[in-house]
Amino acid sequence: MKIALAQLNYHIGNFEANTQKIIKTLEEQKAKGVDLVVFAELCICGYPPRDFLEYPEFIDHCEAEAQKVAAASVGIACIIGLPKLNPVLEGKDLYNVAYFIEDGKVKQTVKKALLPTYDVFDEYRYFEPAHEFKCVDFKGYKIALTVCEDLWNLGDNPLYKTCPMDELIKEEPDLMINIAASPFAYNHDEERIFVLSQNCHKYNLPLFYVNHVGAQTELIFDGGSLVFDKAGDIVHEFKYFEEDVQVFDVEQIKRSIVLNKEQVRQTHTEQVYQALILGIKDYFEKSGFTKATLGLSGGIDSAVVCALACEALGAENVMAVLMPSKYSSDHSIKDAEDLVKNLGCKSTIISIEEVADAFEHTLKPEFKDLPANVTEENIQARSRGVILMAMSNKFGYILLNTSNKSESAVGYGTLYGDMCGAISVIGDCYKTQVYQLAEYINRQKEIIPVNSIVKPPSAELRPGQKDSDSLPDYDILDKILFEYIELKKSLKDIVSLGYDEALVKRILKMVNQAEFKRYQTPPTLRVSPKAFGMGRRMPIVGKYLS
């Protein structure tokens, strides 16, 4: 039996495009003599559909498109994922299912049992879990078919009380197939490989695993579909961050004939770079946008975002807006101009001095003789935000936010100023990671000016200002933030690592007090295991560590 795994890029709610892509792949694989084509979890509607699932018409569309796929499956079999109505009154109204389709008909429906409700996942909000399990019989093989999380309940502290494979193995299956929607984080490919390999060890079966690829707003799916032999060794590892379809002979896999060598693992920086490119590209293409704009300061953050945007969209579709103030240094303007020259993108210079002065003049009767403080600094940042949004409105540009995770974590940014935008490109990258991205971008030649990388970071909102005036050095700050945000360590635990207690208290307080700002920021491309946004839900008015 020949099985094709189809790792494709779907578009949420774009039923026609998704179905056409699936049917086209079926036709191509049928011509090659393939017996079974396996597509990803919820491929019919795209993942995650979120509250679209609450609309009956959306569910009707899914079933109608699934029937179109079935009609195109004469002479071949396939597995597709979709939401399906639960006919039982009690419980949730939907199941997350896999259809096994053969010769034009849906022969079997497999329901997902383990519904993740943590981090970015919220499946129990919509779906009823399966309670019955049955293998799929096809061409003399017994297939243990599961959906994504159903294979993740391993380890010393299992999240769920049941394990679907423990039931399916009783029927003595010949192989496992798992259809998934597993989003990217820079450490997730190693974790994914380990968990799936452990299933092969435990059940002594080969495994065919197919994942989504492509970005859906903030979530990025990296692909990396996998085939394992029964010993848990990788037989084939698919491409990352691009579509890929591969065909396998089940008997070869059962005999553990390695079809290719395991891919060399990319560094985290390489993975993040590719993920951000895909995230920008799909955000624009799937939203029907083509042109981007951003504020270019001469600093490293905006330089990295500009370089990523040019790579993703084409330099001709990127407008960099230089907005010097009376505090901007000459070298900052030159650094920004050098970057524009290196990238070949469009640019313009709009001074904010008169705009900021006008605001201050208008407010003078209210402010009277009160001394200048952060208010005047924020007026400058908001003046830039107004200009960027005006450019966006007038010319149809989509504004890219250039704030990094370190700034967002401690609230070092201005609401409606440098924190505005449609999508946050590096908002899940700490400042130290931004430097690593800059070095990677410059791996073959200087694109980002060296001066943008080596000079002390500054918002340039007052004379001689540096980030270090308000924040600890990023090398220290980022390590403490990582311990608190990603690893969820307590104050006591972080201090025990050798950090100054007063400093740790200050940083944690800044993080929690900045929650109100993060509620009002754009969606952030997720590249870490714990990103701000839908995957980290904190109360604004919480007292803990504030």
Sign of CA dihedral 109, 240, 285, 23: negative
Q: Which residues are annotated as a binding site for ATP?
A: 295-302, 402
Sheet of strand 234-237: strand arrangement: 136-138, 141-147, 175-179, 207-210, 226-228, 234-237
Q: CB burial class (10 A; 0-12, 13-18, 19+) of residue 365?
A: exposed
Measure the CA–CA gap between 122 and 143, rounded to whole angstroms. Answer: 28
- Beta strands 318-322 and 292-295: pairing type? parallel
3-class SS at 321? strand
Q: Which of 43, 45, 78, 148 is the catalytic position?
A: 148
Beta strands in 22-151, from DSSP E residues, in sequence order? 36-38, 77-85, 94-102, 105-111, 136-138, 141-147
CB 365 within 8 A of CB 390: no
Q: Which residues are annotated as a binding site for deamido-NAD(+)?
A: 378, 407, 517
Write out the two tokens for 482.
Answer: 């990582």
Partners of residue 85 on adjacent β-strands: 94
Measure the CA–CA gap between 314 and 510, rounded to whole angstroms. Answer: 38
Question: Mind giving me the DSSP string for 519-544?
Answer: TTSPPB---SSS-SBTTB---TT--T
414: nearest Cα among 517, 300, 511: 517
Place of tokens 């790792």: 7
148 is catalytic: yes
Partners of residue 77 on adjacent β-strands: 36, 102
Q: Which of 30, 41, 135, 311 is the catalytic position?
A: 41
CB 412 within 8 A of CB 467: yes
List CB contacts of 315: < 8 A, sequence separation 6 or more.
343, 344, 345, 346
The radius of gyration computed from the CA coordinates of the chain, to the nearest angstrom, equals: 26
Q: Which of 21, 84, 111, 112 is the catalytic position?
A: 112
Q: Which residues are annotated as a binding site for L-glutamine?
A: 118, 182
> Rounded to 5, what percent of the chain is helix, strand, coil?
40, 20, 40
Question: Mind giving me the DSSP string for 265-282?
Answer: PPPHHHHHHHHHHHHHHH
Alpha carbon of residue 521 to chain centroid? 16
Measure the CA–CA gap between 465 and 80, rounded to whole angstroms. Answer: 56
Measure the CA–CA gap between 110 and 135, rounded to whole angstroms. Answer: 9
Beta strands in 114-205, from DSSP E residues, in sequence order? 136-138, 141-147, 175-179
My answer on whether omega of the bond before 463 falls inside 30° of 0, hence cis, is no
41 is catalytic: yes
Place of tokens 């505005």: 420
Q: CB burial class (10 A; 0-12, 13-18, 19+) of residue 23?
A: middle
Q: Residue 7: enclosing H or E segment and its boundaries?
A: strand 2-7
Count Cα atoms within 13 angstroms, Cβ side, for 353. Answer: 7
Q: Which residues are annotated as a binding site?
A: 118, 182, 295-302, 378, 402, 407, 517
Catalytic site residues? 41, 112, 148
